[in-house]
Chains A and B, each alone.
Chain A
Amino acid sequence: MATVDSRERSTAVAPQHDVPRGGVVDWLTTTDHKKIGILYLVSAVGFFVLSGLLSLVIRAELAAPGLQIVGHQEYNELFTMHGTGMVFFFVVPTAIGLGNYFVPLQIGAPDVAYPRLNAFTYWLYIAGGLITFSGFLTAGGAAAVGWTGYAPLSLNTFSPGAGVDLWIVGLLVSGVSGILGAVNFIATIFGMRVPGMTMFRIPIFCWNILVTSGLILFTFPVLSAAFAMLYIDRQIGGFFFDPGAGGDPILWQHLFWFFGHPEVYIMILPFFGVVTEIIPVFSRKPVFGYSGFVFATLLIGGYSLSVWAHHMFTTGAVNNPFFAATSMIIAVPTGVKFFNWIATMWRGRISLQTPMLFSVGFLFMFLIGGITGVFLASPPIDYHVHDTYYVVAHFHYVLFGGSVFAIFAAFYYWIPKISGRLMNEGLGKLHFWLLIIGFNMTFFPMHVLGLNGMNRRISDYSAASGWQPLNILATAGAGILAAAVTVFLINFFVSMKKGEPAGDDPWGGYSLEWATTSPPPPHNFHRIPPVHSERPVFDDRGGRPRAGADGKPGGRRSG
């Protein structure tokens, strides 16, 4: 095959400065997108564990009526910081970490467009996380206003103390991080693709990162503005949200949710992308309906800007039919994705190794979460289930069942590339089953609890309510989830020490990251295969599946 387009990576790379390789200083001053990606992923998992521990205390408290473990105030801090930690400091940074590591590789670039800016966004994220969580160290405790921070509750009158101020400032700082990161991704994807890689040959993962970055660009500034206004109200005598002085609490909700709803798509779109990478490879087929995926992603991104007030149906202050219509329509492109995923698997040759196992789990769990979302989009139904555990169930199905399952899929798929070592399949399967069983035990009962009247964000409930049995089930499930995550962490550390070498392409992948070593060299590629389709590595193999030494299609060892 002619290699007219292949670009030999010459040695004309920037001369190496005298920096220590791999030491602390190297990691603190790196501008290499791969190292920054690793930093993001490790930090994000750290926040996952931290926020997860908070949720374990929540579940322990809710297992029985009466306050056994924490008081009301502490409980309110727990669910606030659990939500904040997970949304802002775990899910989105994981997406950014994966994007950081793999977008340049997948488009054949040597790095992102703005490497120092890239490093800056990481350290800003850490600064933001430290500021936000430092509320726990203050006398008044951390913010206790819910991750949504509704006014007037979040104003000074009702939430005095530094906790909320630190929460605001920390999120402002990490918001800037997100915006700059989005700029970087867009510039990279638009400007640094290797010749031959048109926009319609980039992997779907890159498309999803692109649309996610667009959403971040549109909505993080709105959140930052809202936070600035809240800060002004709290500290400088403003009254944007204080009805007593002529302000409007509903304005906060508009601003917050204009950000907040696209935020949940920011939290899922990159992981749709991950799953769209994994399913074709493990089905031995090309992605079905590439254009359809692009179309659907663009539609979801665009529509998500016009659905926000479905979170406000019960306020009596918004046009319910408008938002019901837009919110229901957004289910359609998501459905297209589902059918395209199924069509990708259809008549393929599916091997259920851990990346695919988690992707399939994602499909089932997100299906449920997506369906309950359509219920919530109907105002009369929402009038019943809004602000109940039904909503808690819904968003955990899409965020945990969706994003987190896909995150683990991404980890099993890509950690071999990042580290050069395969993760243990047996432990991976154990992790999967513990996770899916624990997850459903924890969150499925919450649908029932919500329908039957259990409202959200309550530190306690009465014995007479009859809610205890399902709450005990949920708490038991949470324990199993903790075990699942522990198994994953053990697998990770053991595999890093003793895992089998992965080789360049353990899975028989299609996109350019599989054309280089595991881990890649500093400048990413020694040789980039020519790009004539959206599956350059597959084409480079002559359109053959990679057969492993064990003869299994999709084989785990490279030749």
Chain B
Amino acid sequence: MVEELRFFLRIAVYLVVIGTIYWFVSYEVAGTVLLLFGAVGTGFFVVAARVSFQPKVPEDLVPRPPRTGLRRMAGVLGRYFAFDGEHDMGGEPAAAPLALEEEGFPESSIWPLAAALAALLLGLGLVFGPWLWIPGLALGASSTWGWLTQLTA
């Protein structure tokens, strides 16, 4: 499993373990919910993102002799949890799945600033009233539209 996913899998497993221990030592609801929900969310991400992170196996990877017993278990654990670069099966980004095309970067855009201004008005409006958040909402809607439709390059 690529390191990118192992990063999240380790967290998910840790949260499940520690959340379970926490429940049985404390019977405290808030903390248990936070820990276990964190695990669920992370685990969900790992499962859902596997598709995007299929490792590319280099042709020159020397096949290892099959192992049994403890060594085999250690190998499996290592594949999913280890942080040793030598066993990293595919962190090498030859065709990085999320790389943008070179022409993809908008050089400049007014929409982030406009959207943040909308957030400012919305926020202040939450405290001071509709005379602020209504314009904020309008500005927010138009900057969302502008952002989404801004043609790049």
Contact = CB atoms under 8 A, between A and B. Distances in A.
B54 interface: no
Contacts of B85: 198-201, 291
A302 B10 contact: yes
Contact of B4 (A30, A117, A123, A190): A190
Contacts of B31: 254, 258, 308-309
A60 to B, nearest CB: 31
A10 B101 CA distance: 13
A12 B109 CA distance: 20
Interface string A294-325: 11001001100110110000000011011000
Given A198-B88, A200-B88, A14 B153 contact: yes
B25 interface: yes
Given A14-B104, A31-B105, A302-B10, A169 B123 contact: yes
B106 A187 contact: no
A12 B102 contact: yes
B112 A26 contact: no
B100 interface: yes
A65 B8 CA distance: 52
A322 B25 contact: yes
Interface in B108-135: 108-113, 115-117, 119-120, 123-124, 126-128
A218 B97 CA distance: 24
A173 interface: yes
B94 A305 contact: no
A272 B132 CA distance: 42
B99 A191 contact: yes
Contacts of A291: 83-85
A512 interface: no
A340 to B, nearest CB: 15
A199 B99 contact: no
A103 interface: no
Contact of B93 (A113, A195, A318): A195
Pick from B21, B91, B119 the residue with the most CB of A within 10 Å.
B119
Contact of B108 (A30, A200, A231, A301): A30
Interface stretch (A49-57, A125-133, A448-456): A125-133
A197 B92 CA distance: 6
Given A195-B93, A200-B85, A251-B30, A120 B120 contact: no
B152 interface: yes
Given A29-B109, A305-B38, A131 B120 contact: yes
Interface stretch (A15-23, A92-100, A341-349): A15-23
A218 B11 CA distance: 10
B108 A26 contact: yes
A505 interface: no
A258 B124 contact: no
Contacts of A32: 107
A190 B93 CA distance: 9
A29 B112 CA distance: 8
Interface string B63-105: 0000000000000000000011100100111101111101111
Interface range on chain A: under 10, 10 to 19, 20 to 34, or 35 or more? 35 or more
Contacts of B7: 210, 214, 298
Nearest to B114: A123
A233 interface: no
Contacts of B2: 199
B92 A195 contact: yes
Contacts of A210: 7
Contacts of A326: 18
Given A131-B123, A131-B124, A298-B10, A110 B105 contact: yes
B138 interface: no
Contacts of A110: 102, 105
Nearest to A17: B107
A196 interface: yes
Given A29-B110, A255-B34, A305-B14, 9 more contacts: A10-B102, A30-B108, A31-B105, A110-B102, A119-B109, A123-B112, A302-B14, A306-B22, A322-B26
Interface of A: 10, 12-17, 19, 26, 28-32, 110-111, 113, 115-120, 122-124, 126-128, 130-131, 134, 162, 165-166, 169-170, 172-173, 176, 187, 190-201, 210, 214, 218, 222, 231, 251, 254-255, 258, 291, 294-295, 298, 301-302, 305-306, 308-309, 318-319, 321-322, 326
26 contacts: A14-B103, A14-B104, A29-B109, A116-B112, A118-B112, A119-B109, A119-B113, A122-B112, A123-B117, A126-B116, A127-B119, A176-B119, A191-B99, A194-B93, A195-B93, A195-B94, A197-B93, A198-B3, A198-B88, A200-B3, A214-B7, A218-B11, A291-B84, A295-B83, A302-B11, A319-B25
Q: Report, nearest first, the 4 A-B pairs whose CB atoms are least far apart.
A: A191-B98, A200-B85, A123-B116, A119-B112
